[in-house]
Structure formats: structure tokens, C-alpha cells
Amino acid sequence: MYIDGIEWTADHGLFGAFHPPGYERALLIAGARGAKDRNEQTMNINLFGINGPGHYVIRNGNPAGSVAQLTNYSPERFISGSMMGYDLIVEVSVAQTNPAHLEATFSGSLTGNDDVIMQISDGRFSYRE
């Protein structure tokens, strides 16, 4: 994905699940970047109340509880999205369990704890178990 035009790519911790145990009608995607320490950057999008591939718009206060979050983008911006604010369009093209296979694209915005709105573009996620 690109954050305000700057490329951000997960380099470890890729995870994807569709209808994982304990989460009926859910799709979870995540990835991490950087050293595995307190500065590790993590990105996740959790869609709830979905049955499969489709077009999903998630914003603050959505009734299904879907959420997007990026942590530790910088020392000053340690959380973006989640309770700070998010507005994303997520296109899920593949959502399969056993074995897990997920494909999604996403774009929109995340608001940081410093009130800066970050533009997310060309987000792509691909995961196979």
C-alpha cells in the first residue's frame, strides 16, 4: 500500500483468516514491518458481518464493528485508524477457508493520534496457507 504516496510493505507477520474459530462471518488480514520490537509497525483490517467476496465500506462507528488500524507509523503517530478514525473501501475478491486463501484491495484514510489524516492507496493483500 501507499501512505500519502510513500510505499509501505509488510515484510513479516502476514496473516489472513476467513471465518476463523470464534468469529462467524469475519475476515481478518494483517501484516507487519520492521524490527520485532516496540517500534514494529503493524497493519490490520478486520471485517465483520460478511459472507464472502464483495465491496465493503468501513468507517468509524459501523454497526458490524469492522475496523482498520496501523500502529507505530512514527514515534509521534503511534496509532492510526481504530478509535482515532478510519474510512476505507475494501474489495475482497477471494475469501476461502481450509486452506485459507484471501485476496483483497483497499484504499481510503486513517486518522492518527496526532489528528493527521493519512491517505491510503493501492493497498493489496494476498495470503495462502
DSSP 8-state code for residue 49: S
Mean pLDDT of the chain: 96
Cα–Cα distance, 36 to 19 (Å, whole number): 27
Q: What global pTM score does this model have?
A: 0.93
C-alpha distance from residue 71 to each of 35, 63, 94 (Å): 13, 23, 26
pLDDT in tens, 16-45: 999 999 888 999 999 999 999 999 999 999
Domain boundaries, the chain: 2-128
Cα–Cα distance, 64 to 113 (Å, whole number): 23
